A and B are shown apart, each in its own frame.
Chain A
Amino acid sequence: MTATLAALEHWSGGLWPYLVVILFGFLPSEIWRWASVFLVRGLSEDAEILVWVRAVATALLAGVVAKLLLVPSGALAVVPVFWRWGALGAGILAFFAFRKSMLAGVIIGEIVLVSAALLATG
Protein backbone atom coordinates (compact mmCIF):
# COMPACT_ATOMS: atom_id res chain seq x y z
CA MET A 1 0.00 0.00 0.00
CA THR A 2 2.71 2.48 1.03
CA ALA A 3 4.79 1.56 -2.01
CA THR A 4 1.81 1.98 -4.31
CA LEU A 5 1.07 5.39 -2.81
CA ALA A 6 4.69 6.46 -3.14
CA ALA A 7 4.68 5.39 -6.80
CA LEU A 8 1.45 7.28 -7.35
CA GLU A 9 2.87 10.37 -5.68
CA HIS A 10 5.98 10.19 -7.88
CA TRP A 11 3.97 9.60 -11.03
CA SER A 12 1.43 12.37 -10.40
CA GLY A 13 4.10 14.96 -9.62
CA GLY A 14 2.61 18.42 -9.00
CA LEU A 15 -0.91 17.05 -9.17
CA TRP A 16 -0.42 14.85 -6.08
CA PRO A 17 -2.21 17.24 -3.64
CA TYR A 18 -5.28 17.23 -5.90
CA LEU A 19 -5.18 13.45 -6.13
CA VAL A 20 -5.03 13.26 -2.32
CA VAL A 21 -8.08 15.52 -2.03
CA ILE A 22 -10.01 13.36 -4.52
CA LEU A 23 -8.94 9.88 -3.32
CA PHE A 24 -8.81 10.40 0.45
CA GLY A 25 -11.25 13.28 0.94
CA PHE A 26 -13.83 13.39 -1.85
CA LEU A 27 -14.46 9.68 -2.53
CA PRO A 28 -14.81 8.46 1.09
CA SER A 29 -17.39 11.17 1.84
CA GLU A 30 -19.19 11.25 -1.51
CA ILE A 31 -20.07 7.53 -1.52
CA TRP A 32 -22.55 8.16 1.31
CA ARG A 33 -24.27 10.97 -0.59
CA TRP A 34 -24.52 8.78 -3.69
CA ALA A 35 -25.68 5.76 -1.69
CA SER A 36 -28.52 7.87 -0.27
CA VAL A 37 -29.83 8.57 -3.78
CA PHE A 38 -30.47 4.84 -4.17
CA LEU A 39 -31.73 4.40 -0.59
CA VAL A 40 -34.56 6.91 -1.02
CA ARG A 41 -35.87 5.31 -4.21
CA GLY A 42 -39.63 4.95 -3.99
CA LEU A 43 -39.95 6.96 -0.76
CA SER A 44 -42.45 9.79 -1.00
CA GLU A 45 -41.76 13.05 0.81
CA ASP A 46 -44.32 12.30 3.53
CA ALA A 47 -43.27 8.71 4.20
CA GLU A 48 -43.40 7.95 7.93
CA ILE A 49 -39.84 6.57 7.98
CA LEU A 50 -38.57 10.01 6.95
CA VAL A 51 -39.82 11.50 10.22
CA TRP A 52 -37.45 9.11 11.98
CA VAL A 53 -34.62 9.78 9.50
CA ARG A 54 -35.02 13.51 10.06
CA ALA A 55 -34.96 13.04 13.82
CA VAL A 56 -31.70 11.07 13.48
CA ALA A 57 -30.18 13.78 11.27
CA THR A 58 -31.25 16.51 13.70
CA ALA A 59 -29.90 14.66 16.76
CA LEU A 60 -26.66 14.02 14.87
CA LEU A 61 -26.15 17.68 14.01
CA ALA A 62 -26.98 18.70 17.57
CA GLY A 63 -24.25 16.27 18.62
CA VAL A 64 -21.83 17.85 16.13
CA VAL A 65 -22.47 21.28 17.67
CA ALA A 66 -22.04 19.97 21.21
CA LYS A 67 -18.77 18.32 20.22
CA LEU A 68 -17.42 21.47 18.56
CA LEU A 69 -17.85 23.20 21.93
CA LEU A 70 -16.78 20.28 24.14
CA VAL A 71 -13.59 19.52 22.24
CA PRO A 72 -12.79 22.88 20.65
CA SER A 73 -10.00 23.16 18.12
CA GLY A 74 -7.36 25.85 17.78
CA ALA A 75 -8.22 29.38 18.81
CA LEU A 76 -11.61 28.41 20.25
CA ALA A 77 -9.82 26.44 22.96
CA VAL A 78 -8.48 29.66 24.53
CA VAL A 79 -12.04 30.65 25.46
CA PRO A 80 -12.94 29.18 28.88
CA VAL A 81 -15.59 26.45 28.76
CA PHE A 82 -18.13 28.52 30.70
CA TRP A 83 -18.01 31.27 28.08
CA ARG A 84 -18.24 28.88 25.14
CA TRP A 85 -21.55 27.56 26.48
CA GLY A 86 -22.56 31.01 27.74
CA ALA A 87 -22.12 32.48 24.26
CA LEU A 88 -24.22 29.68 22.77
CA GLY A 89 -26.92 30.24 25.41
CA ALA A 90 -26.89 34.01 24.77
CA GLY A 91 -27.27 33.35 21.04
CA ILE A 92 -30.24 31.05 21.61
CA LEU A 93 -31.89 33.58 23.94
CA ALA A 94 -31.38 36.37 21.40
CA PHE A 95 -32.79 34.15 18.64
CA PHE A 96 -36.05 33.77 20.58
CA ALA A 97 -36.09 37.32 21.99
CA PHE A 98 -35.88 38.79 18.49
CA ARG A 99 -38.78 36.71 17.20
CA LYS A 100 -36.69 33.83 15.89
CA SER A 101 -34.14 35.97 14.09
CA MET A 102 -31.14 33.83 13.13
CA LEU A 103 -29.08 36.94 12.47
CA ALA A 104 -29.71 38.24 16.01
CA GLY A 105 -28.79 34.84 17.46
CA VAL A 106 -25.52 34.61 15.55
CA ILE A 107 -24.49 38.23 16.21
CA ILE A 108 -25.20 38.20 19.96
CA GLY A 109 -23.53 34.81 20.36
CA GLU A 110 -20.46 36.05 18.47
CA ILE A 111 -20.26 39.28 20.49
CA VAL A 112 -20.29 37.34 23.78
CA LEU A 113 -17.70 34.85 22.52
CA VAL A 114 -15.28 37.37 21.00
CA SER A 115 -15.50 39.55 24.15
CA ALA A 116 -14.68 36.53 26.29
CA ALA A 117 -11.83 35.62 23.95
CA LEU A 118 -10.45 39.17 24.18
CA LEU A 119 -10.56 39.03 27.99
CA ALA A 120 -9.00 35.55 28.05
CA THR A 121 -6.14 36.40 25.71
CA GLY A 122 -5.57 39.84 27.18
Chain B
Amino acid sequence: MADDSSPPLKTARQAALAGAKAAAGLPSFMLMASLIGVGGLCRDVGYPMGAAVASTLLVWAGPAQMVLFGSIAAGVALPLIAVAICVSSIRFVPMCMSILPLMREPAVPARDGQPARKGTPTWLLLILAHFVAVTAWVEGMRRLPGMPKPERIPYFLAFASTVMLAAAFSTGAGYYLIAKLPPALAAGLLFTSPIYFTVALAAGVRQSVDWLALVLGFGAAPLVALVVPAGFDLMVGGIGMGTLAYAIHRLQRARRDGGAGA
Protein backbone atom coordinates (compact mmCIF):
# COMPACT_ATOMS: atom_id res chain seq x y z
CA MET B 1 0.00 0.00 0.00
CA ALA B 2 1.83 3.09 -1.22
CA ASP B 3 -1.00 5.49 -0.53
CA ASP B 4 -1.00 6.44 3.15
CA SER B 5 -3.34 9.42 2.81
CA SER B 6 -6.62 7.45 2.61
CA PRO B 7 -7.88 5.36 5.54
CA PRO B 8 -7.06 1.65 5.26
CA LEU B 9 -9.61 -0.40 3.33
CA LYS B 10 -11.98 -2.50 5.33
CA THR B 11 -11.75 -6.21 4.68
CA ALA B 12 -14.77 -7.78 3.00
CA ARG B 13 -15.85 -9.14 6.36
CA GLN B 14 -15.63 -5.74 8.06
CA ALA B 15 -17.57 -4.10 5.23
CA ALA B 16 -20.23 -6.82 5.47
CA LEU B 17 -20.47 -6.32 9.20
CA ALA B 18 -20.95 -2.58 8.70
CA GLY B 19 -23.71 -3.31 6.17
CA ALA B 20 -25.52 -5.69 8.50
CA LYS B 21 -25.26 -3.15 11.32
CA ALA B 22 -26.68 -0.36 9.17
CA ALA B 23 -29.58 -2.63 8.22
CA ALA B 24 -30.40 -3.70 11.76
CA GLY B 25 -32.05 -0.41 12.76
CA LEU B 26 -34.64 1.65 10.95
CA PRO B 27 -34.48 -0.13 7.55
CA SER B 28 -35.26 -3.55 9.03
CA PHE B 29 -37.93 -2.15 11.30
CA MET B 30 -39.68 -0.40 8.45
CA LEU B 31 -39.62 -3.49 6.20
CA MET B 32 -40.92 -5.66 9.01
CA ALA B 33 -43.76 -3.21 9.55
CA SER B 34 -44.69 -3.05 5.89
CA LEU B 35 -44.49 -6.80 5.16
CA ILE B 36 -46.37 -8.00 8.22
CA GLY B 37 -49.59 -7.43 6.25
CA VAL B 38 -48.51 -9.70 3.39
CA GLY B 39 -48.59 -12.69 5.73
CA GLY B 40 -52.22 -11.98 6.58
CA LEU B 41 -53.19 -11.60 2.92
CA CYS B 42 -51.55 -14.94 2.14
CA ARG B 43 -53.47 -16.68 4.89
CA ASP B 44 -56.72 -15.18 3.59
CA VAL B 45 -56.32 -17.09 0.31
CA GLY B 46 -55.65 -20.34 2.15
CA TYR B 47 -52.00 -20.69 1.21
CA PRO B 48 -49.44 -22.03 3.72
CA MET B 49 -47.18 -19.71 5.72
CA GLY B 50 -44.20 -20.84 3.65
CA ALA B 51 -45.73 -19.30 0.51
CA ALA B 52 -45.88 -15.90 2.24
CA VAL B 53 -42.24 -16.17 3.32
CA ALA B 54 -41.22 -17.42 -0.14
CA SER B 55 -42.92 -14.40 -1.72
CA THR B 56 -40.78 -12.07 0.41
CA LEU B 57 -37.55 -13.93 -0.43
CA LEU B 58 -38.33 -14.27 -4.16
CA VAL B 59 -40.59 -11.40 -5.25
CA TRP B 60 -38.97 -8.97 -2.78
CA ALA B 61 -41.35 -6.10 -3.45
CA GLY B 62 -44.10 -5.42 -0.93
CA PRO B 63 -46.60 -3.87 -3.36
CA ALA B 64 -46.21 -6.73 -5.86
CA GLN B 65 -46.73 -9.29 -3.10
CA MET B 66 -49.89 -7.47 -1.99
CA VAL B 67 -51.11 -7.46 -5.60
CA LEU B 68 -50.35 -11.19 -5.88
CA PHE B 69 -52.25 -12.38 -2.81
CA GLY B 70 -54.87 -9.62 -2.92
CA SER B 71 -55.77 -10.46 -6.53
CA ILE B 72 -55.88 -14.20 -5.87
CA ALA B 73 -58.32 -13.42 -3.05
CA ALA B 74 -60.39 -11.32 -5.46
CA GLY B 75 -60.48 -14.19 -7.97
CA VAL B 76 -58.40 -12.54 -10.68
CA ALA B 77 -56.98 -15.00 -13.24
CA LEU B 78 -53.34 -15.86 -12.53
CA PRO B 79 -51.95 -14.82 -15.95
CA LEU B 80 -53.57 -11.39 -15.50
CA ILE B 81 -51.96 -11.08 -12.06
CA ALA B 82 -48.59 -11.89 -13.64
CA VAL B 83 -49.14 -9.13 -16.23
CA ALA B 84 -50.02 -6.59 -13.52
CA ILE B 85 -46.92 -7.52 -11.52
CA CYS B 86 -44.76 -7.44 -14.62
CA VAL B 87 -45.96 -3.94 -15.55
CA SER B 88 -45.52 -2.53 -12.04
CA SER B 89 -42.06 -4.10 -11.72
CA ILE B 90 -40.67 -2.14 -14.67
CA ARG B 91 -39.66 0.35 -11.99
CA PHE B 92 -36.80 -2.01 -11.11
CA VAL B 93 -35.09 -1.10 -14.39
CA PRO B 94 -34.11 2.49 -13.49
CA MET B 95 -33.44 1.39 -9.91
CA CYS B 96 -31.10 -1.48 -10.87
CA MET B 97 -29.53 0.53 -13.67
CA SER B 98 -28.57 3.34 -11.31
CA ILE B 99 -27.28 1.22 -8.42
CA LEU B 100 -25.45 -1.64 -10.18
CA PRO B 101 -22.75 0.58 -11.76
CA LEU B 102 -21.90 1.79 -8.24
CA MET B 103 -20.90 -1.75 -7.30
CA ARG B 104 -19.61 -3.34 -10.48
CA GLU B 105 -15.82 -3.43 -10.90
CA PRO B 106 -14.74 -3.21 -14.54
CA ALA B 107 -12.32 -5.76 -15.98
CA VAL B 108 -8.78 -4.36 -16.14
CA PRO B 109 -6.30 -5.77 -18.67
CA ALA B 110 -2.72 -6.50 -17.57
CA ARG B 111 -0.60 -3.34 -17.76
CA ASP B 112 2.59 -1.87 -16.28
CA GLY B 113 3.49 -5.12 -14.59
CA GLN B 114 0.10 -5.23 -12.85
CA PRO B 115 -1.74 -8.53 -13.42
CA ALA B 116 -5.05 -8.43 -15.27
CA ARG B 117 -8.11 -8.19 -13.03
CA LYS B 118 -11.42 -9.79 -13.79
CA GLY B 119 -14.49 -7.57 -13.54
CA THR B 120 -17.47 -8.40 -11.34
CA PRO B 121 -18.89 -11.66 -12.76
CA THR B 122 -22.39 -11.64 -14.26
CA TRP B 123 -23.73 -14.22 -11.78
CA LEU B 124 -22.81 -11.89 -8.92
CA LEU B 125 -24.49 -8.94 -10.65
CA LEU B 126 -27.66 -11.05 -11.06
CA ILE B 127 -27.62 -11.79 -7.32
CA LEU B 128 -27.03 -8.11 -6.48
CA ALA B 129 -29.91 -7.17 -8.79
CA HIS B 130 -32.24 -9.59 -7.02
CA PHE B 131 -31.75 -7.70 -3.75
CA VAL B 132 -32.72 -4.37 -5.32
CA ALA B 133 -36.03 -3.07 -3.98
CA VAL B 134 -36.96 0.34 -2.64
CA THR B 135 -35.24 0.02 0.74
CA ALA B 136 -31.95 -1.39 -0.53
CA TRP B 137 -32.03 1.15 -3.36
CA VAL B 138 -32.56 4.31 -1.29
CA GLU B 139 -30.07 3.21 1.34
CA GLY B 140 -27.53 2.00 -1.22
CA MET B 141 -27.74 5.14 -3.35
CA ARG B 142 -27.19 7.18 -0.21
CA ARG B 143 -24.31 5.23 1.33
CA LEU B 144 -22.36 3.48 -1.44
CA PRO B 145 -20.91 6.51 -3.32
CA GLY B 146 -18.90 7.55 -0.25
CA MET B 147 -17.32 4.12 0.13
CA PRO B 148 -14.18 2.66 -1.45
CA LYS B 149 -15.28 0.46 -4.33
CA PRO B 150 -14.09 -2.93 -2.98
CA GLU B 151 -16.23 -2.44 0.15
CA ARG B 152 -19.46 -1.78 -1.70
CA ILE B 153 -20.50 -5.30 -2.74
CA PRO B 154 -19.98 -6.98 0.67
CA TYR B 155 -21.65 -3.98 2.36
CA PHE B 156 -24.67 -4.07 0.05
CA LEU B 157 -25.06 -7.87 0.16
CA ALA B 158 -24.96 -7.91 3.96
CA PHE B 159 -27.28 -4.91 4.23
CA ALA B 160 -29.83 -6.31 1.79
CA SER B 161 -29.82 -9.88 3.10
CA THR B 162 -30.24 -8.61 6.67
CA VAL B 163 -33.31 -6.54 5.81
CA MET B 164 -34.62 -9.42 3.67
CA LEU B 165 -34.31 -11.92 6.54
CA ALA B 166 -36.00 -9.49 8.93
CA ALA B 167 -38.79 -8.96 6.40
CA ALA B 168 -39.17 -12.71 5.81
CA PHE B 169 -39.46 -13.30 9.55
CA SER B 170 -42.07 -10.58 9.83
CA THR B 171 -44.05 -11.97 6.87
CA GLY B 172 -44.19 -15.33 8.62
CA ALA B 173 -45.19 -13.74 11.94
CA GLY B 174 -47.82 -11.60 10.20
CA TYR B 175 -49.40 -14.79 8.85
CA TYR B 176 -50.52 -15.56 12.41
CA LEU B 177 -50.79 -12.07 13.93
CA ILE B 178 -52.39 -9.63 11.53
CA ALA B 179 -56.07 -10.29 12.27
CA LYS B 180 -55.54 -9.36 15.93
CA LEU B 181 -54.16 -5.86 15.37
CA PRO B 182 -56.22 -2.81 16.45
CA PRO B 183 -57.09 -0.66 13.38
CA ALA B 184 -55.08 2.40 14.46
CA LEU B 185 -51.95 0.29 14.78
CA ALA B 186 -52.65 -1.40 11.44
CA ALA B 187 -52.93 2.06 9.84
CA GLY B 188 -49.61 3.00 11.44
CA LEU B 189 -47.97 -0.11 9.98
CA LEU B 190 -49.26 0.70 6.49
CA PHE B 191 -47.97 4.24 6.88
CA THR B 192 -44.36 3.11 7.51
CA SER B 193 -43.59 2.63 3.81
CA PRO B 194 -44.67 6.08 2.60
CA ILE B 195 -43.09 7.99 5.49
CA TYR B 196 -39.87 5.98 5.41
CA PHE B 197 -39.49 6.19 1.62
CA THR B 198 -40.09 9.95 1.75
CA VAL B 199 -37.45 10.75 4.37
CA ALA B 200 -35.02 8.22 2.88
CA LEU B 201 -35.39 9.82 -0.56
CA ALA B 202 -34.90 13.26 0.99
CA ALA B 203 -31.83 12.00 2.86
CA GLY B 204 -30.41 10.55 -0.35
CA VAL B 205 -30.55 13.78 -2.35
CA ARG B 206 -27.09 14.51 -3.78
CA GLN B 207 -27.73 17.11 -6.48
CA SER B 208 -30.43 19.62 -7.30
CA VAL B 209 -31.69 17.25 -10.02
CA ASP B 210 -32.65 14.75 -7.28
CA TRP B 211 -34.73 17.39 -5.47
CA LEU B 212 -36.45 18.33 -8.71
CA ALA B 213 -37.25 14.69 -9.50
CA LEU B 214 -38.55 14.11 -5.98
CA VAL B 215 -40.81 17.16 -5.89
CA LEU B 216 -42.04 16.85 -9.48
CA GLY B 217 -42.68 13.10 -9.20
CA PHE B 218 -44.59 13.62 -5.98
CA GLY B 219 -46.58 16.63 -7.17
CA ALA B 220 -47.47 15.23 -10.56
CA ALA B 221 -48.71 11.87 -9.27
CA PRO B 222 -52.34 12.97 -8.66
CA LEU B 223 -52.58 14.53 -12.13
CA VAL B 224 -50.93 11.61 -13.90
CA ALA B 225 -53.26 9.19 -12.12
CA LEU B 226 -56.21 11.06 -13.65
CA VAL B 227 -55.07 10.91 -17.28
CA VAL B 228 -53.06 7.69 -17.55
CA PRO B 229 -54.70 4.25 -17.20
CA ALA B 230 -54.07 2.56 -13.86
CA GLY B 231 -51.01 0.34 -13.87
CA PHE B 232 -49.10 2.60 -16.23
CA ASP B 233 -49.44 5.89 -14.33
CA LEU B 234 -46.40 5.35 -12.11
CA MET B 235 -44.19 4.50 -15.07
CA VAL B 236 -45.43 7.42 -17.17
CA GLY B 237 -45.12 9.84 -14.25
CA GLY B 238 -41.65 8.56 -13.38
CA ILE B 239 -40.26 8.82 -16.90
CA GLY B 240 -42.04 12.13 -17.57
CA MET B 241 -41.11 13.89 -14.36
CA GLY B 242 -37.63 12.34 -14.17
CA THR B 243 -36.93 13.53 -17.70
CA LEU B 244 -38.33 16.99 -16.92
CA ALA B 245 -36.12 17.22 -13.83
CA TYR B 246 -33.11 16.15 -15.88
CA ALA B 247 -33.93 18.67 -18.65
CA ILE B 248 -34.17 21.52 -16.11
CA HIS B 249 -30.89 20.36 -14.58
CA ARG B 250 -29.21 20.44 -18.02
CA LEU B 251 -30.59 23.93 -18.74
CA GLN B 252 -29.35 25.24 -15.39
CA ARG B 253 -25.94 23.72 -16.00
CA ALA B 254 -25.73 25.15 -19.51
CA ARG B 255 -26.69 28.63 -18.24
CA ARG B 256 -24.16 28.42 -15.40
CA ASP B 257 -21.36 27.21 -17.69
CA GLY B 258 -22.33 29.83 -20.28
CA GLY B 259 -22.33 32.54 -17.62
CA ALA B 260 -18.90 31.47 -16.39
CA GLY B 261 -17.52 31.56 -19.90
CA ALA B 262 -18.82 35.06 -20.71
What is A's interface to B at a CB cutoff of 8 Å?
Answer: 1-2, 5, 14, 17-18, 20-37, 39-40, 43-45, 47, 50-76, 78-79, 84, 87-88, 91-92, 95, 100, 102-103, 105-106, 109-110, 113-114, 117-118, 121
Contact = CB atoms under 8 A, between A and B. Distances in A.
B242 A1 contact: no
Contact of A105 (B55, B195, B239, B246): B195
Contacts, number: 307
A18 B225 contact: no
Contacts of B35: none
Contacts of A5: 78
Contacts of A28: 82-83, 85-86, 89
A40 B101 contact: yes
A91 B37 contact: no
Contact of B238 (A14, A39, A60): A60
Contact of A50 (B25, B55, B97, B106): B97
B119 to A, nearest CB: 10
Contacts of B102: 45
A24 B82 contact: yes
Contacts of A14: 48
B132 to A, nearest CB: 6
Q: Bin chain B's interface residue count.
A: 35 or more
B100 interface: yes
Top 8 closest pairs, chain A to chain B, by CB: A60-B238, A59-B217, A56-B242, A62-B217, A36-B96, A66-B221, A75-B186, A28-B86
B160 to A, nearest CB: 12
Interface in B19-62: 25-26, 30, 37, 47-48, 50-51, 54-55, 58-61
Contacts of A54: 94, 98, 141, 209-210, 213
Given A44-B101, A67-B234, A55 B92 contact: no
A57 B238 contact: yes
A58 B203 contact: no
Which one of A31, A55, A87 has the highest number of Cβ atoms from chain B below 10 Å of its Cβ? Answer: A55
B91 interface: yes
